[in-house]
Amino acid sequence: MKILKKRKWFQSFSALLFNPNIPLFFKGAVYKGQTKGICVPILNCYSCPAALGACPIGALQNSLANLRFNLSLGLNQFGLYIIGSLSVVGSLIGRLPCGWLCPFGLIQELLYKIPSPKLKIPGYFRYFRYGVLVVFVILMPLILVDSAGLGQTWFCKLICPAGTLEAGIPLLAANPALRSQVGLLFAWKFIVLAAFFIWMVLSLRPFCRTTCPLGTILGFFNKVSLFQMHVDGDKCTQCGLCTQACPVGLEPHETPNSPDCIRCLKCIDTCTYGALDISFLKKYPVNRPKKIRI
Amino acid sequence: MKRKLSLLLFFLSVILIIIGLNTGEFIAVLEKAVTVCLSCIGIG
């Protein structure tokens, strides 16, 4: 498929599409249009000056952080709009936005192109992101609240390197008044970003594979989304080309719809036997690869 | 079976969005997203 060769262009176009207000980078202010109320299916900080929409992970944390306060005011806002926005995307295409739309994914792929020794990420590191989602995105905003019942967006505050890169650094660069407020928290966030940058040069997409809570949520839908990947067992020779090509260290011919799969579709492009395929909203015969016994 | 589950999930998600919109959650997201949350990005 020709489109698979143009994924980088797709990612670059998406980065511009979701961040079109470039002049605001120089003004040190954020875009304030109505589209900011729409949750985008990518990790794109809504405090980024150019951002067109809202980061669903930031919005979800805010919703959970304000839950007790809202209930005390009689407001029945449980974050259903945000959960629904995430699950609409998930039920349609699963983690496809990770591989094709996310600007932070593109940054990671570009940094990996810098020549350096390359490191494999141990498989068990992937479970860390489930902990990040549960602890920093759900439990901490919900439980750690002040006397008024208001919590904080702990993942954004302590971890998210996308926020530091897309919002913190540009706002500080363009707005001198903010620089006086920089303290230990920003130093910590800068260290986290720098550490991830180094890791991104050494390993492919380490943030997506070990930390990203948005990818974790969308990954839950990979097995049940309308967009599915398939292996034709009659064509698959188990040559391992797809495994070598997989940027997140999976075996696509064994688990084509793994929750860890970012659906970059490189495996389909690499398979010379045409054993891997995609479908959307149509039945596909289940024909698992046969184990070759020697 | 899997296709039916996918479609069911999709329609449930749309219902969640509609309920959320009716309770004013779009405005809540919008209000938060148009203001710079300094502590969220590590400043202040």
Q: Give tens-digit pLDDT for A105-160.
A: 999 999 999 999 999 999 999 999 999 999 999 999 999 999 988 999 999 999 99
Residue A35 is predicted with a pLDDT of 97
- What are the residues whose beta carbons fall under 8 Å from the beta carbon of A19, sequence distance 6 or more? A44, A48, A50, A51, A52, A103, A166
Query: Given B13, B25, B37, which is nearest A88 (Cβ)?
Result: B13
- What are the residues whose beta carbons fall under 8 Å from the beta carbon of A10, sequence distance 6 or more? A3, A100, A101
Give the predicted TM-score (pTM) of the model.
Answer: 0.93
Whether A30 contacts chain B with CB within 8 A = yes
Report residue A277's pLDDT band, with 50, 70 and 90 as the boundaries: very high
Q: Decide if A232 contacts A287 (C-beta within 8 A).
A: yes
Looking at the DSSP bridge assignments, the partners of residue A276 are A231
Q: Is the pLDDT assigned to residue A54 strictly greater than 80? A: yes
Q: Give tens-digit pLDDT for A21-32.
A: 999 999 988 999
Would the CB atoms of A153 and B40 count as touching at under 8 Å?
A: yes
Would the CB atoms of A163 and B34 count as touching at under 8 Å?
A: no
Q: Which of A174, A157, A137, A7 is nearest to A63 (CA)?
A: A137
Instruction: Give the type of residue at A179.
Output: R
| Alpha-carbon span A225 to A98, nearest angstrom | 14
| Alpha-carbon span B41 to B36, nearest angstrom | 9
What region, left, alpha or beta, does residue A55 occupy, with left being phi > 0 and alpha being psi -120 to 50 degrees?
A: beta
DSSP 3-state of A281: coil
A243-A125-A268 Cα angle (round to 5):
20
Mutant choice from A80, A85, A155 vs B, greatest count of B C-beta within 10 A: A80
| ipTM of the complex as predicted | 0.95
Whether B2 contacts chain A with CB within 8 A = yes
A76-A82-A86 Cα angle (round to 5):
145
Q: How many residues does chain A have?
A: 294
Query: Given B5, B25, B44, which is nearest A77 (Cβ)?
Result: B25
Whether A194 contacts chain B with CB within 8 A = no
Residue A290 is predicted with a pLDDT of 57
Looking at the DSSP bridge assignments, the partners of residue A227 are A280
Would the CB atoms of A59 and B33 count as touching at under 8 Å?
A: yes
Q: Give tens-digit pLDDT for B12-30.
A: 999 999 999 999 999 999 9
Joined together, the tokens standing for residue B19 give 């309920």
Cβ count within 10 A of residue A124: 8
